[in-house]
Amino acid sequence: MKKIIIILIVLLIFLGFTPYDELNSLAVVDTLGIEFKDNKYSLYLNVINDDNKVYNVKGDSLGEVFLKAKNVDNKETYYDHLEIVILNTNIIDNKTLNFFKEEFTSIDYLVLGTEVNLEDLFKKYHKRNDYKSFIKKEKEESASIVNVTFKEFLSSSLDDIKDASIPLISYKNNLRSEGIYIPSLKITLGRSLAKANYLINNMIDAFNTKVNFNDNSYEVSVYDLKSRINYKNNAINIKIEGKIDSPDSDDLTELKEIVIKDLNDNILELINNERESNYNISNVINYIYLKTREVNYDTYKKADINVNITLKEEEKDNYG
């Protein structure tokens, strides 16, 4: 019996169990937002064991604002259950990234960028499930957003070849994906270019879309997507394979052509934007680097781009 109790205690500690009395003395944060507004840093904390109450702390520096937030409502702030961090684009820089790297022991929480006022955003959306559910739904429907952890964001910011990027969201009546924000260039790539980037990097394998054709709208599912890239004979070859289906039509010929053309155009637009502005989030230039051992944008600009997309139709059951 003693062995069983010891094993249970070890498991509870390993799983991060916090006793009730200890938990009652902590302000457990699951969602955090920070922005710079009116010459002040403003920190928003969603405390899950206080009926998801949002606390706002202001300060003249990142250090000051987190020091002030060390205790909220006479409770010690506890970040071990932090899952979502929302950064206003006006503070996304190396200074902020280094501060967060030093401040938190775990860097596996999800990060999102935004240009909207966080005070308004946190009035309606301040719980982790608000954002996790949104990302899951939006990824399935538009493929314009994926989960990105702070660890991944930080790693790409330290990469000599790749430019760091962060999913960008906005808020009016509902949360909305706005594409990708590139802090080093202070530019945003819209939803269609975000989808192209995630697709060629195998970060999405399925999405749903609406296709308008002959004054009708069709729901289309694209799935089992896989992308391959190589660089050969001064040409970048991008091959994408997948499947396509629609509950609204048995003849997918025209719908398939429209989807393929849309994806092809988005991929070419993304690559041409990179080549014109000398940035890299798609990793396409990496395939030139693998051959030449040199990050050469002139070679990238002169390379031919071949995009080959094949979408197979699922065989229909004619006996149903």
Question: 3-state SS of the chain: helix, strand, coil percent to 5?
Answer: 35, 35, 30
* pTM for this prediction: 0.87
Picking from 178, 205, 177, 200, the residue whose alpha carbon sits closest to that of residue 280 is 200
Residue 144: its pLDDT value, please? 95
Residue 10: its pLDDT value, please? 46
| Residue whose pair of structure tokens reads 């003693």 in the numeric block | 2
Q: DSSP H helical segments within 142-247, as ranges?
A: 150-157, 191-200
More confidently predicted of 102 and 57: 57
- For range 134-150, the mean pLDDT: 95
Checking if the pLDDT of 293 tops 90, the result is no
Using 50, 70 and 90 to split pLDDT, how confident is the model at 20? very low
Model confidence pLDDT, tens digit, residues 210-260? 999 989 999 999 999 999 999 999 999 999 999 999 999 988 999 999 999
Checking if the pLDDT of 8 tops 50, the result is no
Using 50, 70 and 90 to split pLDDT, how confident is the model at 17? low
Residue 25: its pLDDT value, please? 85
Q: DSSP H helical segments within the chain, as ranges?
A: 2-14, 20-24, 62-68, 94-103, 118-124, 128-141, 150-157, 191-200, 253-277, 284-292, 297-302
Using 50, 70 and 90 to split pLDDT, how confident is the model at 18? low
CATH number attached to the domain at 191-320:
3.30.300.210
Using 50, 70 and 90 to split pLDDT, how confident is the model at 19? low
More confidently predicted of 24 and 175: 175
